[in-house]
């Protein structure tokens, strides 16, 4: 979290503390020889080594930073960083200015207000939870080392020349760390071995550890493949009453573990996790049914059993003999419980984890880093212990305080958490209420005590870095690829969204985002592409006559909702069609969302699946250069031919088309086929006799069904440019053929029927009809929701969290530092009535 953007000043009373100006390498300057001024001139705080990581204590930062600087200076990346640094320094100056303006009276007021807020926060002090943060040690690197013993004694990192994701502890001694480009890692450590990441493997390991997590807290909250928050409170309660057997686990010694992952002869010992294959056998054996066995006797009994009984000598999984192991009975204490979990993880994965134990997530996170690797640390749940711990803690250790916040606060004389309290009067005035509150919570050692699963996802995106692209066709092609990938991802998760955002990064590393909100939800590749392309086009124009030179492009969809069970007009009509197929009625088929780029489907209408010509004034966009508007009577003079664009795919200037349409309407020409210029993907027409008095604008306002002067029902998709720009395969219509008319044989002329509930009314006024349909849609939605909930309720009792079924390494995260989470319920449509009104 940031929240620290704008008006952030500093006080002059702490000016001597301030590292405000751009002077030297900043970060945490506890190193005494820091007195040396910036001889290497612009060592920026944002370019120096971030050693805020386990295994990076006491490095020769001076030397490392020099190497980093030498490797970076003069690059485009470096120049951009320098620019950002200057910006930050400006912000600090502004902060300083604001602080200087603070009068003693103002400061007093700030302190008063701060104390009031603190008092308030204190009311919520809650030490009743035991929160555990677990973090695998150097996860990706550890997996690779485990699987390739040759890597074990070498400095290595996972990643490539471009970027490293993790480094092992040996490499960290050289200053090589995550988020560092590989080529710099090589400069710091010429012997560095770089290994390509293998996410499939990491995901598999993640499954294993999550299975174990779930046994301590079925509602644990994974933050990434290798990290999670768990609420141990309930487990610890259970532990008190548990038997010794419940707390007994089988441990292969480390030497056995190390050997177990090395290729060996067929007759070697079993390498399965004994807690998976052998422990269940033991636990259910008659000999161990005596639940009152003492801690001591359990291990003795197990030992004897395994020595004497053949049943416990051969692994049922691999048929090999079990290796040597010991049975360890863990105590009922918090520390024992966490140690047990970590040991089980190690037995299962041959990898070590570290853990932090504290009354809330904020502290637990800090603790898990304290005794890394392969260690754990606990803050006792007392007010004193918490205060003690927090007091001297550098603010940078807190999740949510990054290097910018660190520097901003540093300029105010705040570097450790107790400083936040000392400077509360100033902070109150200089930061937003959100930020201030966050700071006060930190200084008190307050954090979230609730471990919540992530709510609904809020956005989904795809972005790619590449070698410079600057040709329009190349850029459009990239945009197309990204749109396609995003559409696929959205569809896989059955999500649709409204806001399309284009992200670009120029070759100078400047990042821009441009977004557009559609009138409707979609996850269709073409729709997304049209929007993104338009945004891209605008950016290219802004750059003209220079080419737009990019090194990255991304497409994001936000304002998401679920596509499953969604009550679109589409699905309504489809449902209705199915119902009516027996009786022969066939309401207009509006199929925009599902098959947007399909050709006009006249199958079953006029007995042909081809595009009908002649009376039609239709043009199919073939994407060819020679594609032109040929509508005969429609006044299309303002419509020029398609721009050649987008990699051979023609682009149509819709504004002009719409202009032509308006023009036509104004002229009032009533000749054949002149009334309507519709851009559409699908169209159906009603029988003259049965012309529906429909002018139905569904939730998808870009898709309207209306009646033209020929008493024809036409589906028009002509809202905004995104949906209007014809794509290859789209069809432009000026008129609808009367041959292709489905018969509404079973309906009376003025009878209007709700497509959802099938209620019929004569001369149903349009607005009332719309309201009714709205209501019906909601009703169906509610039903679906309730059904969902019921089925969920039925399955909640299962202790296995659904998240164990990870399919991608995409993750959602949640920070405890934010405002109270606004749990997003299911989206409500306008005019939704209460549940009661639906069902009474």
Partner DNA sequence: GCGGATCAC
Partner DNA sequence: TATGGTGATCCGC
Helix (H, G, I), strand (E, B) or coil at 57: coil
* Torsional sign, CA 296, 297, 298, 304: positive
Taking CB under 7 A as the rule, does residue 161 contact DNA? yes
Taking CB under 7 A as the rule, does residue 203 contact DNA? no
**Which range in 630-638, 643-651, 760-768, 809-817 contacts DNA by CB under 7 A?**
809-817
Q: Which of 542, 637, 606, 134 is nearest to 349 (CA)?
A: 134
Residue that is written with structure tokens 């989470």 in the block:
821
Taking CB under 7 A as the rule, does residue 515 contact DNA? yes
Q: Which residues contact 252 (CB under 8 A, 6 or more apart)?
A: 260, 274, 323, 324, 325, 347
Q: Pull the structure tokens for residue 581.
A: 């197929």
CB 295 within 8 A of CB 333: no
Sites for DNA among residues 562-601 (CB under 7 A): none
As measured in angstroms, the least distance from the Cβ of 322 to DNA is 35
As measured in angstroms, the least distance from the Cβ of 812 to DNA is 4
Sites for DNA among residues 399-428 (CB under 7 A): 399-406
Instruction: State how far the alpha carbon of 650 is from the alpha carbons of 77, 548, 795, in Å.
Output: 36, 20, 51
The residue among 5 and 701 lying less far from DNA, judged by its C-beta, is: 5
Sites for DNA among residues 544-563 (CB under 7 A): 551-552, 554, 556, 559
Q: Which residues contact 666 (CB under 8 A, 6 or more apart)?
A: none
As measured in angstroms, the least distance from the Cβ of 815 to DNA is 6
Helix (H, G, I), strand (E, B) or coil at 784: helix
As measured in angstroms, the least distance from the Cβ of 232 to DNA is 19
Sites for DNA among residues 92-131 (CB under 7 A): none
As measured in angstroms, the least distance from the Cβ of 7 to DNA is 5
What's the 3-state SS for 175-236? CCCCCCCHHHHHHHCCCCEEECCCHHHHHHHHHHHHHHHHHHCCCCEEEECCEEEEECHHHH
Among 512, 595, 655, 689, binds DNA (CB under 7 A): 512
Taking CB under 7 A as the rule, does residue 181 contact DNA? yes
As measured in angstroms, the least distance from the Cβ of 128 to DNA is 24
Write 314-320 long-range contacts (CB < 8 A, 24+). Answer: 315/270, 315/272, 315/277, 315/278, 316/277, 316/281, 317/270, 317/272, 317/277, 318/270, 318/271, 318/272, 320/267, 320/268, 320/269, 320/270, 320/271
The residue among 163 and 283 lying less far from DNA, judged by its C-beta, is: 163
As measured in angstroms, the least distance from the Cβ of 366 to DNA is 10
Taking CB under 7 A as the rule, does residue 542 contact DNA? no
What's the 3-state SS for 402-428? CHHHHHHHHCCCCCEHHHHHHCHHHHH
As measured in angstroms, the least distance from the Cβ of 374 to DNA is 18
Among 82, 84, 575, 693, binds DNA (CB under 7 A): 84
As measured in angstroms, the least distance from the Cβ of 517 to DNA is 4
Instruction: State how far the alpha carbon of 556 is from the alpha carbons of 241, 459, 470, 522, in Å.
Output: 50, 7, 21, 12
Taking CB under 7 A as the rule, does residue 183 contact DNA? yes
Among 144, 227, 419, 816, binds DNA (CB under 7 A): 227
**Which range in 150-158, 603-611, 769-777, 815-823 contacts DNA by CB under 7 A?**
815-823
As measured in angstroms, the least distance from the Cβ of 183 to DNA is 4
As measured in angstroms, the least distance from the Cβ of 695 to DNA is 24
Taking CB under 7 A as the rule, does residue 365 contact DNA? yes
The residue among 91 and 342 lying less far from DNA, judged by its C-beta, is: 91
Taking CB under 7 A as the rule, does residue 88 contact DNA? yes
**Which range in 442-450, 462-470, 779-787, 794-802 contacts DNA by CB under 7 A?**
462-470
Sites for DNA among residues 3-32 (CB under 7 A): 3-7
How far, in Å, CA of 713 to CA of 687, rounded? Answer: 8
136 bridge partner residues: 353
How far, in Å, CA of 785 to CA of 802, rounded? Answer: 18
* Torsional sign, CA 427, 433, 437, 439: negative
Taking CB under 7 A as the rule, does residue 611 contact DNA? no
How far, in Å, CA of 68 to CA of 176, rounded? Answer: 10
Among 27, 54, 171, 180, binds DNA (CB under 7 A): 180
Cα-to-chain-centroid distance, residue 526: 23
The residue among 106 and 811 lying less far from DNA, judged by its C-beta, is: 811
Q: Which residues contact 495 (CB under 8 A, 6 or more apart)?
A: 457, 460, 523, 557, 560, 561, 562, 563
Strand (E) or helix (H) holding 437: helix 433-444
As measured in angstroms, the least distance from the Cβ of 82 to DNA is 11
Taking CB under 7 A as the rule, does residue 813 contact DNA? yes
Sites for DNA among residues 247-276 (CB under 7 A): none
As measured in angstroms, the least distance from the Cβ of 457 to DNA is 4
Sites for DNA among residues 482-501 (CB under 7 A): 499, 501
Taking CB under 7 A as the rule, does residue 90 contact DNA? no
CB 596 within 8 A of CB 527: yes
Q: Pull the structure tokens for residue 376.
A: 């754990």
The residue count for binding DNA (CB under 7 A) is: 80
Q: Degrees (nearest 5) of the Cα angle 301, 306, 312?
A: 130
How far, in Å, CA of 789 to CA of 392, rounded? Answer: 47
Among 78, 140, 642, 733, binds DNA (CB under 7 A): 78
The CA R_g of the chain, rounded to the nearest whole Å, is 33
For DNA, what does the binding mask look like between residues 427 and 456, x meaning CB under 7 A?
-----xxxx------------------x--
**Which range in 236-244, 395-403, 668-676, 747-755 contacts DNA by CB under 7 A?**
395-403
Q: What is the largest CA-CA distance in the chain?
A: 101
The residue among 174 and 330 lying less far from DNA, judged by its C-beta, is: 174
Among 101, 116, 326, 458, binds DNA (CB under 7 A): 458
Taking CB under 7 A as the rule, does residue 806 contact DNA? no
**Which range in 37-45, 77-85, 270-278, 748-756 contacts DNA by CB under 7 A?**
77-85
């Amino acid at each position: 979290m940031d929240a620290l953007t704008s008006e952030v000043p500093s006080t002059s009373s702490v000016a001597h503390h301030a590292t405000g100006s751009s002077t030297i390498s900043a970060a945490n300057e506890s190193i005494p020889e820091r007195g040396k001024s910036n001889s290497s001139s612009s060592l920026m705080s944002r370019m120096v080594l971030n050693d805020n990581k386990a295994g990076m204590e006491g490095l020769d930062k001076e030397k490392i930073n020099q190497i980093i600087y030498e490797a970076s200076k003069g690059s485009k990346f470096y120049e951009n960083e320098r620019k950002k640094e200057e910006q930050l320094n400006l912000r600090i100056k502004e902060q300083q200015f604001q602080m200087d303006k603070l009068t003693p009276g103002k400061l007093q007021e700030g302190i008063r207000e701060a104390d009031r807020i603190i008092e308030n926060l204190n009311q919520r002090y809650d030490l009743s939870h035991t929160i555990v943060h677990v973090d695998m040690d150097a996860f990706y690197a550890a997996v690779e080392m485990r699987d390739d013993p040759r890597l074990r004694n070498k400095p290595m990192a996972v990643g490539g020349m471009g970027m490293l994701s993790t480094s092992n502890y040996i490499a960290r001694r050289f200053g090589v760390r995550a988020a560092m480009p590989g080529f710099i890692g090589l400069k710091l450590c010429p012997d560095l071995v770089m290994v390509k990441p293998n996410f499939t493997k990491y995901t598999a390991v993640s499954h294993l550890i999550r299975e174990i997590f779930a046994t301590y807290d079925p509602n644990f909250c994974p933050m990434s493949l290798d990290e999670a928050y768990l609420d141990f409170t309930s487990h610890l309660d259970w532990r008190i009453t548990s038997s010794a057997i419940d707390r007994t686990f089988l441990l292969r010694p480390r030497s056995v573990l190390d050997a177990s992952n090395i290729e060996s002869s067929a007759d070697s010992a079993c390498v399965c996790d004994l807690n998976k294959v052998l422990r269940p056998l033991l636990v259910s054996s008659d000999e161990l049914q005596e639940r009152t066995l003492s801690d001591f006797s359990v291990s003795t009994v197990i030992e004897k059993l395994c020595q004497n009984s053949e049943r416990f000598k051969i692994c049922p999984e691999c048929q090999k003999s079990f290796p040597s192991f010991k049975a360890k009975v863990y105590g009922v204490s918090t520390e024992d419980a966490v140690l047990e979990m970590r040991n089980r993880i190690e037995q299962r994965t041959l990898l070590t984890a570290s853990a932090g134990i504290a009354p809330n997530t904020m502290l637990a996170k800090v603790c898990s880093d304290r005794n890394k690797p392969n260690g754990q640390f606990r803050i006792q749940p007392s007010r004193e212990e918490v205060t003690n711990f927090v007091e001297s803690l550098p603010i940078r250790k807190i999740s949510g305080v990054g290097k910018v916040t660190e520097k901003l606060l540093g300029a105010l004389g705040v570097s450790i958490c107790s400083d936040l309290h000392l400077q509360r009067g100033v902070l109150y005035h200089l930061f937003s209420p959100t930020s201030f509150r966050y700071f006060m919570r930190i200084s008190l050692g307050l954090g979230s005590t609730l471990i919540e699963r992530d709510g609904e996802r809020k956005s989904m995106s795809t972005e790619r870095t590449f070698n410079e692209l600057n040709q329009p066709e190349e850029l459009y092609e990239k945009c197309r690829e990204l749109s396609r990938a995003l559409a696929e991802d959205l569809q896989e998760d059955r999500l649709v969204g409204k806001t399309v955002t284009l992200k670009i990064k120029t070759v100078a590393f400047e990042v821009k985002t441009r977004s557009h909100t559609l009138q409707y939800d979609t996850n269709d590749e073409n729709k997304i592409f049209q929007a993104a392309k338009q945004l891209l086009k605008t950016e290219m124009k802004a750059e003209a006559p220079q080419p737009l030179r990019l090194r990255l492009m991304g497409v994001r969809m936000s304002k998401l909702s679920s596509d499953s069970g969604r009550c679109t007009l589409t699905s309504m009509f489809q449902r209705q069609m199915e119902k009516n197929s027996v009786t022969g009625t066939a309401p207009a088929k509006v199929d925009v969302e599902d098959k947007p780029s399909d050709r006009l489907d006249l199958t079953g209408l006029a007995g042909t699946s081809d595009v009908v010509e002649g009376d039609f004034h239709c043009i199919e966009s073939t994407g060819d250069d020679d594609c032109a508007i040929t509508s005969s009577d429609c006044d299309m003079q303002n419509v020029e031919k398609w721009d050649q664009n987008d990699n051979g795919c023609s682009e149509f200037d819709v504004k002009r088309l719409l202009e032509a349409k308006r023009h036509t309407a104004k002229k009032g020409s009533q000749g054949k086929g002149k009334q309507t210029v519709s851009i559409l993907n699908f169209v159906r027409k009603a029988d003259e006799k049965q012309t529906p008095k429909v002018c139905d604008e569904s939730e998808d306002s870009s898709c309207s069904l209306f009646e033209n002067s020929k008493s024809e029902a036409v589906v028009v998709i002509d809202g905004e440019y995104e949906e209007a720009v014809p794509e290859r395969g789209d069809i432009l219509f000026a008129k609808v053929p009367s041959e292709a008319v489905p018969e509404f044989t079973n309906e009376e002329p003025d009878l209007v029927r709700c497509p959802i509930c099938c209620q019929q009314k004569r001369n149903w006024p349009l607005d009332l009809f719309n309201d009714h349909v709205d209501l019906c849609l909601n009703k169906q939605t509610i039903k679906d929701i309730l059904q969902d909930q019921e089925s969920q309720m039925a399955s909640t009792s299962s202790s296995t969290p659904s998240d164990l079924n990870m399919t991608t390494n995409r993750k959602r995260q949640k920070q405890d530092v934010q405002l109270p989470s606004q749990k997003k319920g299911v989206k409500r449509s306008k005019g939704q009535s209460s549940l009661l009104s639906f069902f009474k």
